[in-house]
Amino acid sequence: MTIEKTEGIIEAILFTMGESVELEKIAAAIEHDEETTRKLIHNMADRYEAEDRGVRIIELDNSFQMCTKPEAYEYLIRIAKQPKKYVLTDVLLETLSIIAYRQPVTKLEIEKIRGVKTDHAVNKLVEYELVQEVGRLDAPGRPILFGTTEEFLRHFGVTSLEELPNLNPEQVEDLKEQAEDEAQLTLQI
């Protein structure tokens, strides 16, 4: 294996892991001894620095990590603004499932399936960029149609909606019965 190929593998490991990786593990992965591996990584780090790249390789307690150069933070902030951290509650997951399997779908259709208002859930899913407006229904009031986004695919590790698991027809019937039972309980209260 050429030095360039080996360095490419090291680069891929450090980029993909996103955190520090022990020298021992990198050496084992590229099938070299630790001393040679350390020299290769140091050469890469020196070259990144000499070429004034936006990333650098740092050493942390016999481990290595690829990270952004501090000089680039100002520009990253312009793009990222603030990291997105969100929790998908059962309500959000249920609403997201309906949208994923029934899209394009309106809030009213989601509410008929769930039996409760969905404004908050749909708005949160839009905020999390898992759902987006995909058009308008040609009906009175022109309700918004919702569908999933590329972020949804990324988040759930699928390349297309066709990769979503199929629902067993018995499960669909069970879900319908549960929704009807919940709707009846709500009406009785």
Same domain, 71 and 99: no
What is the number of other CB atoms lying within 10 angstroms of the CB of residue 46?
Answer: 11
Q: How confident is the model at residue 18 (pLDDT cuts 50, 70, 90)?
A: confident
Name residue 27's amino acid: A
| Domain with 151 in it | 90-188
Residue 186 has pLDDT above 60, yes or no: no
Same domain, 95 and 155: yes
Same domain, 14 and 63: yes
Name residue 135's amino acid: G
Q: How confident is the model at residue 180 (pLDDT cuts 50, 70, 90)?
A: low
Q: How many domains does the chain have?
A: 2
Residue 17 has pLDDT above 70, yes or no: yes
Convert the pLDDT of each residue in 47-70 to its tens digit.
999 999 999 999 888 899 999 998
Whether 84 maps to a domain, the answer reads: no
Same domain, 62 and 103: no
Strands, DSSP E only, in 106-186?
Answer: 131-136, 144-148
Same domain, 148 and 115: yes
Q: How far is CA 68 from CA 28, 62, 65, in A?
A: 26, 19, 10
Instruction: Answer whether 19's CB lies under 8 Å from 65's CB.
Output: yes
Long-range contacts at 35-43 (CB < 8 A, ≥ 24 apart): 37/10, 40/3, 40/6, 40/7, 40/10, 41/10, 43/7
According to the model, what pLDDT value does residue 94 have? 92
Q: How confident is the model at residue 83 (pLDDT cuts 50, 70, 90)?
A: low
Task: Return d(Cα 148, Cα 131) in angstroms, integer.
Answer: 4
Same domain, 100 and 14: no
Whether 64 maps to a domain, the answer reads: yes
Task: Return d(Cα 95, Cα 163) in angstroms, integer.
Answer: 19
Same domain, 115 and 180: yes
According to the model, what pLDDT value does residue 179 have? 59
Element (H, E) at 60: strand 55-60
Task: Return d(Cα 136, Cα 73) in angstroms, integer.
Answer: 40
Domain boundary among 77, 99, 124: 77
Task: Return d(Cα 40, Cα 13) in angstroms, integer.
Answer: 14
Convert the pLDDT of each residue in 95-153 to its tens digit.
999 999 999 999 999 999 888 999 999 999 999 999 999 999 888 989 999 999 988 98
Domain boundary among 55, 77, 99: 77
Question: Please, what is the average pLDDT of the chain?
Answer: 87
Whether 61 maps to a domain, the answer reads: yes
Domain boundary among 21, 52, 77: 77
Q: What is the pTM of this model?
A: 0.50
Whether 85 maps to a domain, the answer reads: no
Whether 83 maps to a domain, the answer reads: no
Q: CATH number, domain at 33?
A: 1.10.10.10
